[in-house]
Amino acid sequence: GIDCSGDSRTCCREEFFVDFKEIGWEDWIIQPEGYHMNYCAGLCPLHMAGIPGLASSFHTAVLNLIKANNADAAVDSCCVPTQRRPLSLLYYDRDSNIVKTDIPDMIVDACGCT
Amino acid sequence: AAAKAVWCPACGLAALTPTTRRDVLVALAKQSILSKLHLPDRPNITQPTSRGALLTALRRIHAQQPVGTAPSPGLPHPGVGEQEYEILSFAETGSSTSRSVHLDFHFTRELAGSTEILQATLYLFWAVPSPGMHPITIRFVHPDPTGGTTPEGGGETRLEVQRDGWATLDVGQTIQNLFKQGGQRLSVELEVMEEQGSPLLAVHNDSHRPFVAARARARTPHRVQRR
């Protein structure tokens, strides 16, 4: 996948870090110190459908489908996460118990065009 | 978005001022974390656990697992739509006499709901006053309308304590039954024979505070696939 930089307009991953101390959550979240809430942004013009972050054969297949069908008939391609990982949290719950859990699919590692 | 222009949901963010964009993203991050933890709002921590008690508890749990084994050997990994929790619940000491100590462990509603208890162990630290065997009776109780306590159906367990140290008790089924009845508080009564000099439960020494270590698995509500 591609990380957004400057004024990139096509599909890429935008990094955004939420520091728990800055938002006053460091008293109940013991670990980690923050959350990488990255997100996908950017356009997916039709010739980009299926890349990056996916196998190039998929990209070729998509392009062939578009050529075979009327390009206007093809639906828009969207910039979506193609690789995600869990957010591991160690926190106090409402009874001051200490809880550790992994929340699946919370951190976006790569983006791509559907 | 203009009718023909290709619309990308996150592009709307680019149109915002940096400050507004940051506020939107922080609000989204808070909402996302709280909803995945099934918390209506961030918890207000009135009595954080002391570092000593936390470190001692973590050391005990790791000492309990043979070196190199996974936290719960033999237990299947969580499937799609399931989320696993490891919980450390420290005792609140209730009424105590020279012969008995009452302990309460609280579990939040979010966990007590559709949660399957995979493992749960009660850890107790004894300080034995004199050599020899000291019998102790451990029973699980629930409050009765008169304000006293009534033993749970699970009967009682007798321990023979011989020296200072930690003792453990499997409470997995007891907590599972408690959750099935919609309860959220595990109450434990410990009774010792006074004439033989009672092995004191070191409840007042914070790093020897009794605790329950549990592994639970909750089903996270997810979209039902339409056939």
Verify whether the Cβ–Cβ distance B37 to A89 is below 8 Å.
Answer: yes
| pLDDT for the residue numbered B146 | 64
Mutation site, A31, A101, A107, A113, interface B, largest B CB count within 10 A = A101
Amino acid at B157: T
C-alpha–C-alpha distance, residues B202 and B210, integer Å: 8
**Contacts within 8 Å (CB) and 24+ apart, B74-83:** B75/B118, B75/B119, B75/B215, B78/B217, B80/B222, B81/B219, B81/B220, B81/B221, B81/B222, B82/B217, B82/B218, B82/B219, B82/B220, B83/A101, B83/A102, B83/A103, B83/A104, B83/B36, B83/B217, B83/B218, B83/B220
Q: Are strands A39-41 and A79-92 parallel, antiparallel or unpaired?
A: unpaired
C-alpha–C-alpha distance, residues A14 and A63, integer Å: 26
| pLDDT for the residue numbered B147 | 62
Average pLDDT, chain A: 83
Over range B50-74, report the average pLDDT: 69
| pLDDT for the residue numbered B4 | 46
Over range B41-47, report the average pLDDT: 88
- Beta bridge partner(s), residue B105: B186
A39 touches chain B (CB under 8 A): yes
Which residues in chain A have Cβ-Cβ distances shorter than 8 Å to B106? 95, 97
Which residues in chain A have Cβ-Cβ distances shorter than 8 Å to B110? 93
Strand order, beta sheet including B92-96: B92-96, B100-106, B185-192, B134-143, B149-161
Measured CA to CA in angstroms, residue B51 lies from A91, A98, B47, B106, B202 at distances of 14, 12, 12, 20, 17
> Element (H or E) spanning B22, and its range?
helix B18-36
Residue B133 sits at φ, ψ, to 5 deg, of -90, 135
Q: Pinpoint the alpha helices (H) of A16-109.
A: 56-68
Q: Is the bond preceding residue A32 a cis peptide, omega within 30 degrees? A: yes
Over residues B83-128, the pLDDT tens digits come to 889 999 999 888 777 788 889 999 876 666 668 899 999 999 888 8
Which residues in chain A have Cβ-Cβ distances shorter than 8 Å to B33? 35, 87, 89, 103, 106
Q: Compute the CA torsion angle B71, B73, B80, A19 (nearest 10 deg).
A: 10
> Element (H or E) spanning B51, and its range?
helix B51-64
Verify whether the Cβ–Cβ distance B11 to A35 is below 8 Å.
Answer: no
The answer to whether residue A69 scores a pLDDT higher than 50 is yes
Query: CA nearest B88: which of B122, B124, B116?
Result: B122
Mutation site, B4, B8, B215, interface A, largest A CB count within 10 A = B8
Give how far A50 is from chain B: nearest CA, Å: 15
Verify whether the Cβ–Cβ distance A103 to B89 is below 8 Å.
Answer: no
What count of CB pairs under 8 Å joins A to B? 110
Which residues in chain A have Cβ-Cβ distances shorter than 8 Å to B47? 96
Verify whether the Cβ–Cβ distance B111 to A40 is below 8 Å.
Answer: no
Mutation site, B4, B19, B34, B42, interface A, largest A CB count within 10 A = B42
Average pLDDT, chain B: 78
ipTM: 0.82
The answer to whether residue B17 scores a pLDDT higher than 60 is yes
Over range B152-165, report the average pLDDT: 78
B25 in helix, strand or coil?
A: helix
| pLDDT for the residue numbered B69 | 42
Verify whether the Cβ–Cβ distance A27 to B45 is below 8 Å.
Answer: yes
- Answer yes or no: are the C-beta atoms of B171 and B211 closer than 8 Å: no
C-alpha–C-alpha distance, residues B224 and B227, integer Å: 9
Which residues in chain B have Cβ-Cβ distances shorter than 8 Å to A96? 45-49, 90
C-alpha–C-alpha distance, residues B51 and B209, integer Å: 12
Verify whether the Cβ–Cβ distance B30 to A87 is below 8 Å.
Answer: no
C-alpha–C-alpha distance, residues B2 and B7, integer Å: 8
If you search the block for the tokens 């140290």, which residue do you land on?
B165
Q: pLDDT band for position B1 (50/70/90)? A: very low
